[in-house]
Amino acid sequence: MTTRLLFVCLGNICRSPSAENIMNHLLQSRGLTHRVSCDSAGTSSYHIGSPPDRRMAQAARQQGIDLVGQARQLQVADFEAFDWILAMDDDNYRDILRLDPQGQYTHKVKKICDFCRHHTDTEVPDPYYGGAEGFRYVIDLLMDACEGFLDELLQETVPNDV
């Protein structure tokens, strides 16, 4: 059975598509693409249909990761469609939970920084209005968080002999 992950930020052009593509990169390098699938979305409708931000894509390319995808907005149906919904920051986390007023899916919603091993950040900063260094930092932070999440996920779901 495939575990389905959804990464969520505000506009779905910087942080969440980076997390999606970093996770896909990690899955491919570990031969696990058949076990986990990824998508991303934004809590706003600002950039629907847009590709990932070119500055974010450049920072990712420097780490050997291509950013692909088209921005879309988070939908209530995503709660059923995904096993994990991973928010980039506190505002995203709250906005996601607002779509679930009954709290039926709260157990699926986590903050990606909760899985960092090396960084102490509690949120992924939005690099949109900053310089190149901010984009590079977000890639490094998300690499740490995605590796931590994947390792934790594998401990829960994959037998020891895989």
Average pLDDT over residues 35-45: 97
Q: Does the active-site annotation cover 9?
A: yes
Average pLDDT over residues 19-48: 97
Adjacent-strand bridge partners of 4: 37
Residue 109, both tokens: 């919603």
Q: Does the active-site annotation cover 53?
A: no
**pLDDT for 158:** 53
Tell me whether strands 36-42 and 109-111 are parallel, antiparallel or unpaired: unpaired
d(CA 133, CA 139): 10
**pLDDT for 115:** 98
Q: Would you kindly state where each structural domain of the chain is located, as residue ranges? A: 3-157
Query: How many residues are given for the chain?
Result: 162
Read off the pLDDT band of 3 (50, 70, 90).
very high
**pLDDT for 159:** 55
Residues 6 or more apart in contact with residue 115 via CB below 8 angstroms: 145, 146, 148, 149, 152
Q: Which CATH number fits domain 3-157: 3.30.360.10, 3.60.150.10, 3.40.50.2300, 3.40.50.1820?
A: 3.40.50.2300
pLDDT digits (tens, 9 = 90+) for 54-112: 999 999 999 999 999 999 999 999 999 999 999 999 999 999 999 999 999 999 999 99
Degrees to nearest 5, angle at CA 3 with 70 and 6: 30
Rg (CA), the chain: 15
Active-site option among 53, 78, 126, 144: 126
The mean predicted confidence, pLDDT, of the chain is: 95
Q: In whole angstroms, how far apart are CA 12 and each of 120, 141, 147?
A: 23, 17, 21
User: Taking 60 as the threshold, does the pLDDT of residue 160 lie above it?
Assistant: no
The candidate with the shortest Cα–Cα distance to 26, out of 57, 69, 60, is: 60
Active-site option among 9, 38, 113, 146: 9
pLDDT digits (tens, 9 = 90+) for 115-152: 999 999 999 999 998 899 999 999 999 999 999 999 99
